[in-house]
Amino acid sequence: MKTPMVQLDNNLFVKFDMFNEGGSHKTRAARHIVSEAIKRGDITPGITTVIEKTGGNFGFGLIKACKELGVDVELAVGLGFSIAKRKYLESLGAKLIGIDELKRGKTPKEVIERQLAEASAYGKQYFYTDQFNNSDGLDGHVVTTGAEVVQQLSQLTSRKDIIFVSCAGTGACLMGVLQSLESNDFNVTTYFIEPEGCDSENGLFVDHRFEGMSVGVTPPFIDWSVIDRKFNVSLVEMLATQKMFFSTSGHLIGNTSAACLHIAKLVSKNTPDKIVFSMIYDHGLWYDDLINTP
């Protein structure tokens, strides 16, 4: 599904993947991973069950992609993620696994490993989509997200110097879009956004409320040599940007999107000679930080 790109200011553009099927950019990677696995024979619809650990958005993408193709989905979702997301994932057709284990302190990764090891006892044939190590996810963003960004920017502006403001969980979206831009002769400067206190490149993470970025592991698909500058965003700055964007556009955007937009707006004012581009990854209705923060 092609999602809209909007020019917010003279030189600031955002792509609204919150309007994508499944509610986020993650559906693009999920659909490509599942489709490629079926082509290779790794997934047989009606027989194979897809299994994954996810904090939510990739899970919605998997449900959407797998329902289209007649494939069951089981998910291990960390208990620290949005309660609303977990409930909706189950209501929309995913089986949430390992809940008791997670309550006892197991990680989603450990739940997946145990489930895969005991697959025969459950009478299951699993395919682990493994979004953090599956390059099909990166390829999915090259051929869909990146291709759309190139086409839309080319239609909206003739300028080729661009500052790409992005964050990362796996890094597949960031790298897919970047590769597409550079292969189409855009001169790209890449700014990397993280929550206050995190440094993903060096494996430094703190607890934060920006679900989907700086998720506790170094993003496996990021080539750090292409990151030109890093910024850290506080919870207060993110929430202020959420409120501001709702006031000006009517859209309540997700936490990671607001963090990136906070920096994108600052950068666009300071560098009017360059295009600034960022993604609106998902909406903000999943997250209760805005209503629970004084």
Spatial contact of 53 and 112, defined as CB atoms under 8 Å apart: yes
Q: What local confidence, expressed as pLDDT, does residue 293 receive?
A: 74
Q: What local confidence, expressed as pLDDT, does residue 294 receive?
A: 65
For 210-222, the pLDDT digits (tens) are 989 999 999 999 9
What are the tokens at 125? 């044939």
For 6-53, the pLDDT digits (tens) are 999 999 999 999 999 999 999 999 999 999 999 999 999 999 999 999
pLDDT tier, 149 (very low <50, low <70, confident <90, very high otherwise):
very high
Helix or strand (DSSP H, E) at 231: strand 229-233
Domains (ranges, CATH) in the chain?
A: 5-23+135-290 (3.40.50.1100), 27-128 (3.40.50.1100)
Q: What is the mean pLDDT of residues 62-75?
A: 94
For β-strands 12-16 and 95-96, DSSP reports them as: unpaired
Q: Is the pLDDT score of 98 beyond 80?
A: yes
Helix, strand, coil in percent for the chain, rounding step 5: 45, 20, 35
Q: Is the pLDDT score of 54 beyond 90?
A: no
Spatial contact of 254 and 288, defined as CB atoms under 8 Å apart: no
pLDDT tier, 79 (very low <50, low <70, confident <90, very high otherwise):
confident
For 244-293, the pLDDT digits (tens) are 999 999 999 999 999 999 999 999 999 999 999 999 999 998 888 777 77
Cα gap 136→62, rounded to integer Å: 14
What are the tokens at 27? 């559906």
Q: What is the mean pLDDT of residues 141-149?
A: 98
pLDDT tier, 205 (very low <50, low <70, confident <90, very high otherwise):
very high
Listed residue (253, 259, 168) closest to 214, CA to CA: 168
